[in-house]
Structure 1
Amino acid sequence: MQTNQTKLLDGLISIYLKSLILIEFGVFGGGSWATALVKILTDNKLLVNWYIKRSLQAQAIEKTGYNPDYLNLVSLDTRYIRTLSNIQQTAQRSKALLFAVPSAQLPTLLDHFESDWITDKIVISTIKGTVGPYYDIPTDVIATYFSVDHQQQAILAGPCHAEEVGLGKKTYLTIASPNAEIQELLSACFNTNYMHVQSCHDIRGVSYAAIYKNVVGIVCGMAKGLRYGDNFIAVLVANALHEMSNMLQSIGSVQPILNSSYAGDLLVTAYSEHSRNRTFGELIGRGYSVEKAKRSMQMVAEGYGATQGLYQTVQQLPADFPILQAAYRVLFKHMPASTEFKLLEQKLK
């Protein structure tokens, strides 16, 4: 009985919090993950100002309730969507700004912002890649551009392939923010019957884990393209978990990695057919050049740029990162994947 009462109380609290949420979300990005996030928010009857650059895409969304370019089988509730082609209008009409663009596009997008558009806003990043010539994490870039404190920011992470979220398949989402009030507010906004939301304060650790797991996805794809079997890939993933743990400890993260936003996100990226990074790596393993593999992809494989960014970052760290190093040499030093994997075999445990 106590369990049922607790569940009822939790449900009432969630409904109460949502009733207090009068904020509008500004979503920047028109891809698959942005579409899945819009679905979550509108399923919760929250208003979304959706910045869409292409007028034909915006018109199709408004008219049909479907994004014609990404996740085009996912129905969106247009009663809660306002598509906009003006960045300033999108930002100023919204209380929470959600960035869901590829990491390489973030600086260009931010160049169109004014600092006063960000003042008193909740700033949310879902970007899983390093940014700019210094290979910063997205929250640091946003903080630098607008002199906003990390207390104003949050990131979303977890094993959340957009294709499954769009279909309402159960998963777990982590909201990382040093601000407990933002954690609570966003938890109410994103919690649904198919999305279990949990929170933590480890914004840097979750950021780096989300970036690193895309590198692992590429390496696992390479292994598949080179015709390694499931047994070897399991060894590869086990070593990748150890490597990620070393990386997070080196940057000061104290959270255990055996939860959904760390190990869970890495595992789904390593194994899922929905993983674009794994697909990209498989093409490399099959003999495609990097440029040909990139041209063959309909969406951006964030792990490509992340590999270079993380490789530069870990140069100052005491631990060894053989998986990351192998990925870097294949992607940026043009070493044959088969050669690098023969060397990697000797370093795995």
Structure 2
Amino acid sequence: MAKIFCFCILKTPNDLNEISVIGGGSWATALVKILTENGIFVNWYMRRSEQVRSINSDAVNPDYLSFLKLDNTKIYASDQLDEVLVRSKVILFVVPSAQLDIVCASIPKEALAEKFVITAIKGTVGSNNLLPSAYLAMYFELKDFQQAIIAGPCHAEEIARNKKTYMTLCGPNETFIRKISKGFASSYMQVNYSRDTMGVEYAAIYKNVVGIVCGMAEGLHYGDNFMSVLVANAIDELQRLLCAFGAPNVRLGSSTYLGDLLVTGYSVHSRNRTFGKYLGQGYSVFEARELMGMVTEGYFATKGLMATVLRLGLNLPLLQTAYRVLYNHMAAIDEFKLLERNIK
């Protein structure tokens, strides 16, 4: 027993007093809020120097959640990525999936050899459409015990306002995850544990696609009756997708899977839903992206997931609808007439 115990201890950071956060968006900002509230010192990489100056001087991210005052006595913000990486044993990646490969290209491959890596990204990466955790593991030759992912229905806007939220930390190294969970748990944040890293990551990708489709339905003035059928079919598609990836016994009704899908499909805070609403109202994909003014993960997720689903031979009408509107530039109104016949 003693040998097993020592083995586990070696595969966790000695302490969790500091974390390096890579990314300067609203999700990253919300996570920094939680960590600093729990006494964790955050070394924060932000690409834009004006964000860094604002955080260090005014404790505010001027571009995201600008109403939120952070505790910058526990933050070291910098636009120098190498400087931020070297300061912490635990690295938290919170960048858009489409930018992860670009960020990684600027990091020496040996830089994370002795680090523990947490991923809070919901999308596929690169031309091979890899899961974020799989991409990081391949690129930096990480072992399973070095990685964890954050998932669940966690809108940054609500975390910023201390609204009750349920987060899931996933990964095979339970000792590591139990340790880092203390940095995220609070009176308004409940942290759960799961080992189903792959299933949770794919569910997080797919729910962004559902958000776009639900938004299009709203923009096209479909009512609640149709929306309920749309979401019911989305749940069925998610179940079939997870089964195809070898996870037939997933408890789909948990917050990690269904909770995340529902909040993305229904919430006014959902970027994907808002993006889809613009498409349903008749805006082009380019116009909708310009109106958003920020990254919409579902746009990239749709392309990556469609390529994966085609290889699996699955028929997922909601995903196909999103893909044809986004990448074949079909009119949303025409695609929804077809979708009406393909869902039950």
State the Cα deviation string for residues 123-151 of structure 1 (Å, max 9, x = none).
Answer: 01111011111111101110111111232
Of 96, 100, 103, which aligns to 1:106? Answer: 100
Of 175, 187, 196, which aligns to 2:181? Answer: 187
Distance, in Å, in 1 between the alignment partners of 2:282 and 2:177 is 44
Does residue 295 of the first structure (1) align with residue 277 of the second (2)? no
Q: Assess if the C-alpha contact under 8 Å between 1:151 and 1:178 holds in 2.
A: yes
Partner of 2:325: 330
Structure 1 residues 83, 269: CA separation in 2 closer, same or farther (over 3 Å shift)? same
Partner of 2:205: 211
**Structure 2 residue identity aligned to 1:274:** H
Partner of 2:191: 197
Of 112, 127, 139, which aligns to 1:118? Answer: 112
Of 231, 234, 243, which aligns to 1:240? Answer: 234
Cα RMSD of the aligned pairs, angstroms, is 1.1
**Structure 2 residue identity aligned to 1:24:** E
Identity in percent: 52
Does residue 264 of the first structure (1) align with residue 271 of the second (2)? no
Distance, in Å, in 1 between the alignment partners of 2:50 and 2:334 is 46
Q: Assess if the C-alpha contact under 8 Å between 2:17 and 2:39 holds in 1.
A: no
Q: What is the TM-score normalised by the length of structure 1?
A: 0.92
Does residue 70 of the first structure (1) align with residue 92 of the second (2)? no
Does residue 160 of the first structure (1) align with residue 154 of the second (2)? yes
Does residue 273 of the first structure (1) align with residue 265 of the second (2)? no
Partner of 1:224: 218
Of 78, 85, 95, which aligns to 1:84? Answer: 78
Unpaired segments ≥5 residues, structure 1: 1-19
DSSP 3-state at the match of 1:70: coil
Q: What is the TM-score normalised by the length of structure 2?
A: 0.94
**Structure 2 residue identity aligned to 1:155:** I
DSSP 3-state at the match of 2:172: coil
State the Cα deviation string for residues 30-65 of structure 1 (Å, max 9, x = none).
Answer: 110000000000000101000122222111111111
Per the TM alignment, residue 318 of structure 1 is displaced from its structure 2 partner at its CA by 4.3
**Structure 2 residue identity aligned to 1:118:** L
DSSP 3-state at the match of 1:189: coil
Does residue 25 of the first structure (1) align with residue 23 of the second (2)? no
Partner of 1:282: 277
Distance, in Å, in 2 between the alignment partners of 1:73 and 1:335 is 38
Distance, in Å, in 2 between the alignment partners of 1:346 and 1:134 is 32
Per the TM alignment, residue 232 of structure 1 is displaced from its structure 2 partner at its CA by 0.6
**Structure 1 residue identity aligned to 2:168:** T
DSSP 3-state at the match of 1:346: helix
Moved more, 312-321 or 192-201: 312-321
DSSP 3-state at the match of 1:198: strand
Of 34, 42, 49, which aligns to 2:28? Answer: 34
DSSP 3-state at the match of 2:95: coil
Distance, in Å, in 2 between the alignment partners of 1:76 and 1:21 is 23
Unpaired segments ≥5 residues, structure 2: 1-13
Partner of 2:338: 343
Runs of 4+ in 1 over 6 A off after TM superposition: none
Partner of 2:10: none
Distance, in Å, in 2 between the alignment partners of 1:73 and 1:289 is 31
State the Cα deviation string for residues 210-260 of structure 1 (Å, max 9, x = none).
Answer: 000000000000000111011111110011001001101110123211111
State the Cα deviation string for residues 104-163 of structure 1 (Å, max 9, x = none).
Answer: 110110011112220221101111011111111101110111111232111101110000
Of 250, 255, 273, which aligns to 1:255? Answer: 250
Distance, in Å, in 2 between the alignment partners of 1:51 and 1:107 is 16
**Structure 2 residue identity aligned to 1:289:** S
Q: Assess if the C-alpha contact under 8 Å between 1:23 and 1:95 holds in 2.
A: no
**Structure 1 residue identity aligned to 2:176:** I
Moved more, 324-333 or 38-47: 324-333
**Structure 2 residue identity aligned to 1:290:** V
DSSP 3-state at the match of 1:41: helix
- Count of equivalent residues: 330
**Structure 2 residue identity aligned to 1:229:** G
